[in-house]
Amino acid sequence: MKNDKARWVVVSIAVVLLVASFAKYFPSGLTLAYGDGLSKLNMSRRVFDSLTPGLGQLGGVWLPLQQVLILLTVWIDPLYQSGLSGSLVSSIAFVGTAVLVYQIVHLITQRVSAAVFGTMFFSINNSMLYMATTPMAEPLLIFTITATVYSLIRLEIEPKSNSRLVWVALSTFAMSLVRYEGWFVLIATTLAVFTIFLKAKISREELEGRLIAFASLAWVGVFLWLVWEMVIFGHPLYFAQSKYSAHVIDVVSYGVNQSQGNFWATVATYLMAVKINIALPLLFASVIGFLLYVFQTIRSPKHHISALVLLSVPLFYITSLFLGQTAIGNLDQYGHYYNIRYGLIMLPVVAIFAALWVRRKIVVGLILAGFLFVQTASNISQGQIAILNDAGAVPSESKTEATQWFMANYDYGSILIEMFKNNDVVFFSRISLSRFLYEGNLGIWEKALNEPEGQVRWVYMSKCPDDLIRQTLASRQDFEDNFELAFENDDVQIFREREERSSLDVSKTPTARYTTYCQRNF
């Protein structure tokens, strides 16, 4: 009964903190600050609102679960336009993770106080509270990783239970479809399942059968994704090798490569990201708790080993940074970080191990929780949120100006645009996605790009030399003959088909603009 009441306390704490976070960030539009979040909203919406609708609009680089969950509500205009379709997924994941952290710590320690501290250490974090209000995938990844570890501990307690094994497999299946970090955790989970069966001293035949049963469900997400990549995009590793991959964009194009090939620089870079997102006292407490956990595991063969799977999170980032498959950047010349949010994935790991240390130190736990509350409240009230100082969350003034102009001046017709780099323009323009002709419209994109005359009324291009539309059209005389410059600033040009050339019947082409639901403060 005491445990049940404590769980409700945990849920209440998480919900109250979440509501306070929404009250801080939603009115100012900061829940939509990250361009990647806007991309996910657009991807889900394009499944049915596009010139070429269908599941293929989910793309081939980002794993699909977040977009599929957003798809459940993104058809409701107010939820799409406000970003709440994505925020709801993250918010539910945040509350769910808070409960799972409680459950994990309680299973290991059998102490309600330690479990409550674990939840507080997780929930009272300004970066986590912010991300829980956004359409980003990190909260869902954190939830599925935590769910996997919780299910694994339950399996370790009952190694011969088929239902426990199924829950581990389902958790890892979901995790493997959120972000690629999940694939690394999936490998570690598979090894942990094998170790648990060995400890249980089950027969070889049963061990093989149970491992096959686990793998047939847990690994099916990875298999299906590779098949999807092959069928839709022509290569099973399209996500890692295409021009839209993290390696090409972050490491090659943006040059955030200080860690590639340098092990110690890699470790230092990821520790920097973790330290920026998680308070130092909590990090120190987690190190002590981790060492105690390892010592108890070595000393007692019956001690739970499942929580060690959490170590696969930092191992993934260290490996990926070293190989140049992802990038994290310190403050650049403009004072912005790059992908600093990746350090936040360590939060449940840190919260769980810190709670294991304070299991018999109530006063220490209270002091630490109090410090986190004061620090978090101070940072949020003063707007000192490092995760919002990421290059991916800093708006472009030029694109904002262009978007405002487009909102006021768009009348009718299709718009040629490179969606990959301009999801923010598309989202905030409030123009139906079916009016945009972009690189995801296979079969008609290439034709419109090379012969926009009669295909589109508007052409949006940036002045960046790598803009595909600029590369194709800007120097062509026939383009200048058929399109006039309607808007220009330092970074953007918007062209409109010359009226004498227009083949569109204005009287029969409706203006496809959404009714504004919530206006972001540009």
Summarised one tens digit per residue, pLDDT across range 31-58 is 999 999 999 999 999 999 999 999 989 9
Looking at the predicted structure, is the pLDDT value of residue 504 above 70? Answer: no
Report, in this order, helix, strand and coil percent for the chain, each rounded to 5. Answer: 65, 5, 30
pLDDT band at 242 (very low <50, low <70, confident <90, very high): confident
Model-level pTM greater than 0.95?
no
Which residues, at least 6 apart from 247, have a Cβ–Cβ distance to it below 8 Å? 240, 324, 325, 326
Q: Angle at the Cα of 420 (from 31 to 518), degrees rounded to 5?
A: 30
What is residue 136's predicted lDDT score, i.e. its pLDDT?
96
pLDDT band at 360 (very low <50, low <70, confident <90, very high): confident
pLDDT band at 501 (very low <50, low <70, confident <90, very high): low
Residue 417 and residue 384 share a domain:
no
Query: Domain for residue 164, yes or no?
Result: yes
Residue 401 and residue 267 share a domain:
no
Domain of 262? 2-391
Of 376, 391, 406, which one is at a domain's C-terminal end? Answer: 391
Residue 385 and residue 402 share a domain:
no
Of 391, 414, 430, which one is at a domain's C-terminal end? Answer: 391
Query: Domain for residue 299, yes or no?
Result: yes
Query: Domain for residue 519, yes or no?
Result: no
Residue 457 and residue 351 share a domain:
no
What is residue 512's predicted lDDT score, i.e. its pLDDT?
37
Query: 337: closest CA among 127, 182, 157?
Result: 127
Number of domains the chain contains: 2
d(CA 404, CA 399): 9
Looking at the predicted structure, is the pLDDT value of residue 334 above 90? Answer: no
What is residue 514's predicted lDDT score, i.e. its pLDDT?
34
Average of pLDDT values for 278-296? 92
Which residues, at least 6 apart from 457, have a Cβ–Cβ distance to it below 8 Å? 412, 413, 414, 415, 496, 497, 502, 504
d(CA 487, CA 493): 6
d(CA 19, CA 24): 9
**What share of the chain has pLDDT > 70, as a percent?**
94
Looking at the predicted structure, is the pLDDT value of residue 329 above 70? Answer: yes
Of 369, 391, 413, which one is at a domain's C-terminal end? Answer: 391
How many beta carbons lie within 10 A of that of residue 131, not counting itself?
27
Query: 77: closest CA among 520, 522, 516?
Result: 516
DSSP E strands, 119-226? none
Q: Taking all residues of the chain, what is their mean pLDDT, rounded to a whole number?
A: 89
Question: What are the helix (H) ranges across 1-83?
Answer: 2-25, 35-46, 65-71, 77-82
Residue 147 and residue 251 share a domain:
yes
Residue 316 and residue 409 share a domain:
no
d(CA 395, CA 373): 29
Looking at the predicted structure, is the pLDDT value of residue 244 above 90? Answer: no
Query: Domain for residue 78, yes or no?
Result: yes
Query: Domain for residue 518, yes or no?
Result: no
Query: Domain for residue 522, yes or no?
Result: no
Residue 152 and residue 26 share a domain:
yes
Pairing of strands 436-437, 483-488: unpaired
Residue 455 and residue 378 share a domain:
no
pLDDT-wise least confident of 1-5, 114-118, 430-434: 1-5
pLDDT digits (tens, 9 = 90+) for 451-487: 998 899 999 999 888 889 999 987 788 888 899 999 9
Residue 133 and residue 111 share a domain:
yes
Looking at the predicted structure, is the pLDDT value of residue 214 above 90? Answer: yes
Residue 374 and residue 413 share a domain:
no
Query: Domain for residue 515, yes or no?
Result: no
Residue 222 and residue 142 share a domain:
yes
Query: Domain for residue 205, yes or no?
Result: yes
Residue 442 and residue 424 share a domain:
yes
